[in-house]
Structure 1
Amino acid sequence: MIKWPTVLVCSGFIALSLWSCRSREKLFTALPGAQTGVDFTNLVVETDSFNINQYLYAYNGGGVALGDINNDGLVDIYLGSNQGSNRLFLNKGDLKFEDVTEKAGVQGWIGKRYWTTGLSMVDINHDGWLDLYVNQVSNTSHLDGHNLLFINNQDGTFSEQSRTYGLDFRTFAQQTVFFDYDRDGDLDAYLLNHSLHELDVYVKTAKRDRPDPLAGDRLMRNDGGVFKDASKEAGIYSSAMGYGLSVSLGDVDNNGCPDIYVSNDFHENDYLYLNQCDGTFREQIRSLLPYCSTFSMGSDMADLNNNGWLDIMSLDMKPEDEVIRKQSSGADPYDVYNYKLSFGYHEQYPRNMLHLNQGTTASGMVPFTEVAQQLGVEATDWSWSVLLADLDNDTHKDLHITNGIYRRPNDLDYINYTFHEGNQQRLSALELVSKMPDGRAANYAYRNRGGLQMENVSEQWGLDLQAYSMGSAYGDLDNDGDLDLIINNLNAPATLYRNNTDQISPNQHLTVKLEGPEKNPRGIGTRLELFLPDQKLMQEVYPVRGWLSSSDYSAVFGLGTHQPDSLIVRWPDGRSQTIRTLSPGQPVSLQYEASTNGSRPLVNTNNLLQKIADHRGLEFSHLENNFTDFDRELLLPHEISREGPPLLVADLNGDGAEDVFIGGAAGQSGRLFFQDERSRRFVERIPEPFMEDEAREDIDAVFFDADADGDPDLYVVSGGGQYVGDLNADRLYLNDGLGNFSRSTQIPAITANGACVVAADFNRDGFTDLFIGNRSVVGNYGYLPDAYLLWNRGNGRFAADRSEKTSALRSIGMITDASWDEKAQQLLVVGEFMPISILRFQDEELSLEALENTHGWWNTIHPVDIDWDGDLDFLVGNYGLNSPLHPSSSEPVRLIVKDWDNNGQSDPMLTHYRQGKEWLYHGLDAVKKQIPVIRLRFNDYHLYAKHTLDQTFSEADLNTAEILYAETFESVVLINQGADGYIMQALPAESQTAPIFAFYTADLNGDQLTDVLAMGNTEVNPPSIGNQKASTGFCLLGAGNGQFRALPPGESGLAVTGSVRKIRGLDLQNDHWILVAKNNDKLEVWQSQSKQRKMTVEGNISADLPESSEDHDL
């Protein structure tokens, strides 16, 4: 026992008690203007001639700019007024400010003819004093004026000199950012403009190259102190299609050159410009982001997970409140969504997006992973500014979001019933606008807990102000080592928040200030990398962030309770320096002159996995037919006709080399690829029976010896929601031993929407039998299909058992996959709205058992002995945690299934819980199309929106419906405990970002332990749910006990996009390939850098075991 000195124990107890008491205080305190001297209100006056119906962005509010304008060491405040005077407040210390606007001469344009938008502070003439830049909207809605540049005279006054510098733009200006994009040492500028609703903006994306002088963005190169338009030569879009609302800067690909992210409103994509370090940019949004926000507003870049790569967050206006969500226009209808895609636009959904940067592999940059829904930050209502900064100094960057709109123009009742031609003629413009609902909303704060966890602490931190809050900025206004906030509210006083971290938390800080090169004295674009004992923190100095605003230049690092080890400074021109003497709380001032020639961190080229370019003739593209399930069944949670292709590997012709089968979609034949060992290439062959069956959709398949002649035959499951009858019939093809296949007629006709097939000798009579799982009843989603057991009676003759012995298979559920455990003589079955189920075999009689609390949307189950104890464990792929649906056992996602309108077709209605109540998930427009009787119950959107499920339907209605449910969407591993059942463990959080449809298991890194590749994604969801394409494949390194560590793509090298459906290992002469089959996409081939040790059980073909583990025979 360790005995501490009494004085230490007592003092420690007192200290803990003090911290405990203080920790109950709010992290932030709102200080009134009367106390601080920051007395400011951005007042917007609406009239008949100027309102949101005349000027689209009349409610977008004003910005904030922070910086030390008089070089006294205190951060000053500049607040923007749309129609009135901008105000400059000089920091006098102790959070007291003096309004020096008139003395400084920085009021800007004032009056109804002018409209101020974004603000920034920048030392444009590099004299060591911050200047002010003010953006103005001109040439629309009777607005005039031009952008203003107030040069600091170093005596408390400023002179307007925008024309001198070529920065007096007369455009639809939203914001301007200053940075050195060409690395020539001086500051260039990016002018962000918004557009207007005119016919020439609703065009195909090919017309992005057509410049527009008012709405088009501009990249302005600094040529000797005068800015010149370099947009075209640099690859910047300058068309009227861009509704630019915010712009963020940062080096997202770590090549040493600043990149640009532009948030665009409405139908236009956001832009992600990657700097090529030669004065040009390449726009990469489609290749690097799976989707973007529809109505993108504020944005920011920062390293949220401390992996050394900048992440990107953009805001939209999806409400958290269910009633407001149902009353508001949201995602596009499916036909409109596809129409936009056909015009060349990227996938867009009306919600916040948080894109995690996965880094770069030897093959290039890995696409970002979008995780806002998994982190619970996707719905913050009508949101404007997002700031990513460490607000509590715990080393993790948090989120602050401003919120609220003066009136809601997207209210569906207003759009459909108020804003019609009759009212437009009867009411004045101002009267019509005044009938829009109020949009006041609370601001949000999320504490970053690390490990893909965000906690809503808006109220706890004292930041849940109900207002119309727009621009915001952070800076250490009182020099106490934590970041204070200031918010510019519309038609209400600005809010200044004092951060109390230094008073209520033991967390420490390190503040870094820069003295940059001659023409960039504030060091814009500098990267700071701070090393702590167990992690690396990174910030880049770009003050313009969030919404119309510019934060302070000083970088404040939260240290938690750690001691900093060292700081690397990477200046914009590539020079660097390392500081090794650091003390918490002691400011660090860094001079560019002290730096030396440096280099960027090298990209890891020794990846665990690599993509194979030369497939040696193994080329295949799966091509889906043009059929949409939503045209027939409007309320499906996803389409059910895009599930292939199957992929199998076996030696088909007895030559000792493995061959390949890949199935086709409807209208596309499956095909075989035979390995020619002499040429080391594959020869494609499409047997005639395959061509005769090309109208059928191949969903799953298995090689097995159907007729006991010693060679692998092929059973193919047909499926899809398009056909009923023969075109959904499964098929059996018999092999003559040389790889020639003929169609067998010795199987019963199974014509459901098939899902899976498992081959095994279930009754131990020496013949291989078949289990067939079905996905759905065609045209009646939600009604439960039967599964089938086909007994092999010898010579390849199969009979379906429909006796009472197999009654457990009747209406068993919407099966997606199954896996046989030979040792336990049981079949594990998974499906949608199903529990993980166990079918136990006793001779030819079946019993069914469900694992408790496992109802999910399961996609796949994969057998492997994870812990090498001699029995089979199972990896089970689920829907994932990154969707708008978040079920639990107490608040499940349910499917209410009934023929509500008596037309002979099921009407499945999805429900979910929000705010402790159960609601129909879909909006009124979608529901009344599927169930016309709903129109009689609800004649407006507000009435529908406020009705929970039990208020929408009577108890009698619900009692006569089939009700399915899901309570978990986590993908898991089941560790087999023999007679004690299974222990279920969740796979790592990183692998929960998308649905998992396929697993591959092997020792990928040579440590004699089982590792996992997990892949999936789905692109068949309605826009109201959104596609789930966040996965680029997950590489999970095993610990041997069912625990895994997710290897980042930058280390693994794995970058597989698209909808993966099957993964198979393929042995070649001196290689082992990993084949990846994707729905409606090309086959990919990957390879491990280490010696491959395949540990999979594919179909009923046992795979090779590790060379050192022959005793673990499966």
Structure 2
Amino acid sequence: MRFYTYNIGLFFTLIGSILIGCDQNAIESTNSSEVLKLISSDSSGIMFSNEIMENDTVNVIDYEYCYNGGGVGIGDFNNDGLQDIFFTGNQQNNALYINQGELRFKDVSNSAGIEGPGWATGVAVVDINNDGYDDLFVCYSGLVPDNLRRNRLYINQQDGTFVDESIKRGLTDLDYSTHAAFFDFDKDNDLDLFVINHHNSFGDKRISPVDSSGASVSNDRLYENIDGKFFDISKKAGILYEGYSLGLGIEDINNDGWMDVTITNDYYFDDYIYINQQNGTFKESAKDYFKHTSNFSMGHDFGDFNNDGLADVMVLDMLPEDQYRRQKLIGPLNLELFYTTLNAGYNEQFMRNNLQMGGQYGYSEVGQLAGVYATDWSWAPLFIDINLDGLQDLFISNGFKRDITDRDFIVYRMKQEMLRTPEAKQNLITALSNLGGAKLKNFFYENTGDLTFDDKRDIWASTPESYSNGAAYADLDNDGDMDLVVSNIGQKAFLYEGKASDYNNYLKVKLKRNYTNIGAKVLLYSDGVVQYRRVNPYRGFQSSVTDEIIFGLGGQNIVDSVCVIWPDMMYEKVINPSFNSELTFEGKVLNQYISSERPKLFSQLNEALDINYQHKELNKIDFKSDPLLPHMFSRMGPGMSVGDIDGDGDSDVLIGGAAGESIRILRQSTSNTFSEEEILKDDYFKEDMGVSLFDSDNDGDLDLYVVSGGNDVAREDPYYQDRLYLNDGNGNFELAEGSLPDINQSGSVVRPFDFDKDGDIDLFVGGRLAPGFYPYPSTSYI
């Protein structure tokens, strides 16, 4: 979470408060086109509101996660066939609401034994003892005494009450925890536990290399389940990296049949992907899968929004929708900070939502293409087929109680903190109490089926402005579509009734094979389309959704088949199940599943061919002199060309150099290995863009043309003069001075070809830019 600016003008805040109000008691949606109906608290009986009372010790200055809010957990805690709702509370008690049917709920918190002291954050619903009754694991954090920060495992006693068995089962750590997930990482037929944590200090955020020792106070934890007790094996298993962890996901990232772990981190810390090594250990591999990530990553969720049978992931950040709020929040990009993080070993990070679309060999980030990259101060993304048309739509929760990222407030805060006096601290607390919040509408996005989403706020559902955090979905009224529960700060929780089953068909799938439900993969095939779901209740932000699966069918009434691939790689299939019905898999008719993973098209051969070349770029930031550039033109090279340079019958590789680096030749030997050689050192100061090997003088060997480019000096400077080098027949090059006309343009490419068909080689030289005059074009030549 980045503390800059989120601010709705006072006028609009007051008007919005008058028109919408903070009390949801009287809210009942009436729009006939709505896909979700907002149910009033009076009707549902859900009165839970996550109230936070600020004072001189409990505030977002001393504890920046003060307004991260609580989570929502869904489970059938009394086994009556109706899904119940659990809320975590920060300063007030947790709450449990038992489903009475027809979307009416009864608060049983006082008698259930789950209220718990402390600052509760995330919740994970699980049947940990395999007795058929859902239990609760609740995470704790906050500036509270250590003993109130112990996470709690509430075991269902099957009589409406729960007993905390966390100490009995070995869960005694006093971390600052955000969320947790249960899964069988080692395939020993029990559920292990992963818990994400964050640092206890928010003051010093100077960029430094990440602590990968496994000893940081914020290190996430993996607990192995051995006969019902949990043992911390984090270091042994390779869970070693520190951070401000806000999001946790469980998914088979590399499609090898073993569940991996994804963690999204706040501030400059990388998002992590721990790949299961199938031997009790994990390897952090985020850079192998994501080319870039969000910067201040919040919650995330996996889904398959393009129905290709591969997992996609949505990660939330803080980028506002409109330019006014963006400028108050972000300001200009801090390029020094960006490159400092890169130099410290971190991945490229950008302050916007990232939608990573899964492919056969990695991910492509398409958030901007999809239209979901800027949703403001966002927390929980959830992929749900809201309208049951067979495409997963997207819900995003939104809002923050104090707009502490306002740049004016940041300046005032810095001045007061520099004084280091009790009076200055009190002045800051007073200013904070008068600071407005980012009270925002939650997002409902419709999946259009063409890799984009349409904003359906106030069309699909009534969307009051709120400070919303955790959210979870389930079919609470058993009518075949998903209902939605959202936890709010200072406002009663939202309950949305799904209405899509009134006009679209569906198929509900339940899995009942004990521990092996979590991690199972469910595929529905219909009319040539595959829909994919993973049974994993731990989604979004600090929350647990139902473990039931609902597939939308739209107007179709024929399903070809449904296949369940269990975590032990056994599968079972049902052909032509009935639509608008419930289909239960119990693991009774099993077959061995054989993965059809495609082999990679290319293999890495650097080591085998003895190629150790690594490009070195000039450390120049173009945006300092020209902030309107779309990207840095000084880093567009180098060019590369392949040919038999020394006439020995083997292809060699020639690679241009950045400004400050000479051209390199990778000469191929008779043993098919390569040796690196630096040439033409006198021209090292130029940026080599396009390079081409061709016989310019018809002497039977390959000469070299080099296009000079980049953005290092002013336009039309002799620095940009292109160069022609003649080969002596043995692979040695010498500059052919005066052989080219004056081409003092920043170029990009050269292509030799017989333009006028007269039997000799002509050249096309492409211009790239006019340095200092973007977007004016450069000149190209023939």
TM-score by length of 1: 0.63
Shift of 1:467: 1.0
- Among the aligned pairs, what percent are the same residue? 38
Q: Aligned pair 1:748/2:741, yes or no?
A: yes
Shift of 1:697: 2.1
CA distance 1:691–1:169, change in 2 (3 Å): closer
Within 2, Cα distance between the matches of 1:49 and 1:681? 66
1:556-705 aligned at under 5 Å gives the runs 556-562=550-556, 563-592=558-587, 594-596=588-590, 598-605=592-599, 620-649=613-642, 660-671=653-664, 690-703=680-693
Q: Aligned pair 1:530/2:524, yes or no?
A: yes
Within 1, Cα distance between the matches of 2:641 and 2:724? 15
Asked which structure has the greater RCO (Cα within 8 Å, sep 6+), the reply is 2
Shift of 1:713: 4.0
Q: Aligned pair 1:152/2:171, yes or no?
A: no
Q: Which amino acid aligns with 1:116?
A: A
Structure 2 partner of 1:714: 704
- Judge conservation of contact 1:290–1:367 (CA < 8 Å) in 2: no
Q: Aligned pair 1:133/2:140, yes or no?
A: no
Match of 1:397 among 392, 395, 404: 392
Further displaced range: 32-41 or 462-471 = 462-471
CA distance 1:717–1:602, change in 2 (3 Å): same
Q: Which amino acid aligns with 1:236?
A: I
Structure 1 partner of 2:4: none
Within 1, Cα distance between the matches of 2:179 and 2:190? 20
Deviations 1:565-586 (A, max 9, x none): 2222222233322222511122
Match of 1:40 among 38, 48, 60: 48
Within 1, Cα distance between the matches of 2:753 and 2:149? 79
Within 2, Cα distance between the matches of 1:234 and 1:142? 26
- Judge conservation of contact 1:190–1:218 (CA < 8 Å) in 2: yes
Q: Aligned pair 1:461/2:460, yes or no?
A: yes
Match of 1:220 among 223, 248, 260: 223
- Judge conservation of contact 1:309–1:358 (CA < 8 Å) in 2: yes
Structure 2 partner of 1:358: 359
CA distance 1:96–1:726, change in 2 (3 Å): same
Shift of 1:712: 5.2
1:910-921 aligned at under 5 Å gives the runs none
- Judge conservation of contact 2:354–2:367 (CA < 8 Å) in 1: yes
- Judge conservation of contact 1:137–1:143 (CA < 8 Å) in 2: no
Structure 2 partner of 1:287: 288
TM-score by length of 2: 0.88
Backbone CA RMSD of aligned residues: 3.0
Within 2, Cα distance between the matches of 1:595 and 1:205? 51
Shift of 1:655: 7.8
CA distance 1:211–1:734, change in 2 (3 Å): closer
CA distance 1:492–1:765, change in 2 (3 Å): same
Structure 1 partner of 2:62: 54
Shift of 1:305: 2.2
Within 2, Cα distance between the matches of 1:147 and 1:98? 26
Within 2, Cα distance between the matches of 1:673 and 1:88? 68
Match of 2:507 among 487, 506, 510: 510
- Judge conservation of contact 1:38–1:97 (CA < 8 Å) in 2: yes
Q: Aligned pair 1:194/2:198, yes or no?
A: yes
SS in 1 for 2:386: coil
SS in 1 for 2:301: strand
Shift of 1:297: 0.8
Structure 2: give runs of 5+ residues left out of the alignment.
Answer: 1-29
- Judge conservation of contact 1:445–1:463 (CA < 8 Å) in 2: no
Shift of 1:766: 6.3
Larger Rg: 1
Deviations 1:807-861 (A, max 9, x none): xxxxxxxxxxxxxxxxxxxxxxxxxxxxxxxxxxxxxxxxxxxxxxxxxxxxxxx
SS in 1 for 2:523: strand
Q: Which amino acid aligns with 1:235?
A: G
SS in 1 for 2:401: strand
Structure 2 partner of 1:78: 86
Q: Which amino acid aligns with 2:438?
A: G
CA distance 1:619–1:219, change in 2 (3 Å): closer
Structure 2 partner of 1:233: 236
Within 1, Cα distance between the matches of 2:667 and 2:93? 77
SS in 1 for 2:212: helix
Shift of 1:229: 0.7
Match of 2:403 among 381, 400, 408: 408
Within 2, Cα distance between the matches of 1:108 and 1:557? 37
- Judge conservation of contact 1:447–1:456 (CA < 8 Å) in 2: yes
Shift of 1:416: 1.6
Q: Aligned pair 1:548/2:553, yes or no?
A: no
Shift of 1:152: 1.5
CA distance 1:675–1:497, change in 2 (3 Å): same
CA distance 1:225–1:765, change in 2 (3 Å): closer
Q: Which amino acid aligns with 1:645?
A: P
SS in 2 for 1:316: coil
Structure 2 partner of 1:251: 252
1:736-815 aligned at under 5 Å gives the runs 741-744=733-736, 745-759=738-752, 768-788=761-781
Q: Which amino acid aligns with 1:530?
A: L
SS in 2 for 1:405: coil
Q: Which amino acid aligns with 2:97?
A: F
Shift of 1:406: 0.9
- Judge conservation of contact 2:304–2:532 (CA < 8 Å) in 1: yes
Q: Aligned pair 1:450/2:444, yes or no?
A: no
1:918-957 aligned at under 5 Å gives the runs none
Further displaced range: 657-666 or 716-725 = 657-666
Shift of 1:708: 5.9
CA distance 1:222–1:203, change in 2 (3 Å): farther
Q: Aligned pair 1:184/2:188, yes or no?
A: yes
- Judge conservation of contact 2:214–2:235 (CA < 8 Å) in 1: no
- Judge conservation of contact 1:46–1:430 (CA < 8 Å) in 2: no
Structure 2 partner of 1:730: 722
Number of residue equivalences: 745
- Judge conservation of contact 1:402–1:444 (CA < 8 Å) in 2: yes
CA distance 1:640–1:188, change in 2 (3 Å): same
1:152-171 aligned at under 5 Å gives the runs 152-171=156-175
SS in 2 for 1:233: helix
CA distance 1:206–1:135, change in 2 (3 Å): closer
Q: Which amino acid aligns with 1:777?
A: A
Further displaced range: 65-74 or 141-150 = 141-150
Shift of 1:638: 1.8
Shift of 1:307: 2.2
Within 2, Cα distance between the matches of 1:760 and 1:561? 57
Q: Which amino acid aligns with 2:388?
A: N
Within 1, Cα distance between the matches of 2:494 and 2:187? 38
SS in 2 for 1:162: coil
Shift of 1:142: 8.6
- Judge conservation of contact 2:207–2:341 (CA < 8 Å) in 1: no
1:70-149 aligned at under 5 Å gives the runs 70-109=78-117, 114-137=118-141, 140=144, 144-149=148-153
SS in 1 for 2:121: strand
Structure 1 partner of 2:342: 341
SS in 1 for 2:97: strand
Within 2, Cα distance between the matches of 1:581 and 1:783? 61
CA distance 1:712–1:586, change in 2 (3 Å): same
- Judge conservation of contact 2:207–2:340 (CA < 8 Å) in 1: no
Within 2, Cα distance between the matches of 1:656 and 1:54? 70
CA distance 1:516–1:771, change in 2 (3 Å): closer
CA distance 1:128–1:614, change in 2 (3 Å): closer
Within 1, Cα distance between the matches of 2:115 and 2:227? 29
Within 2, Cα distance between the matches of 1:382 and 1:737? 64
Q: Aligned pair 1:318/2:306, yes or no?
A: no
Structure 2 partner of 1:1017: none
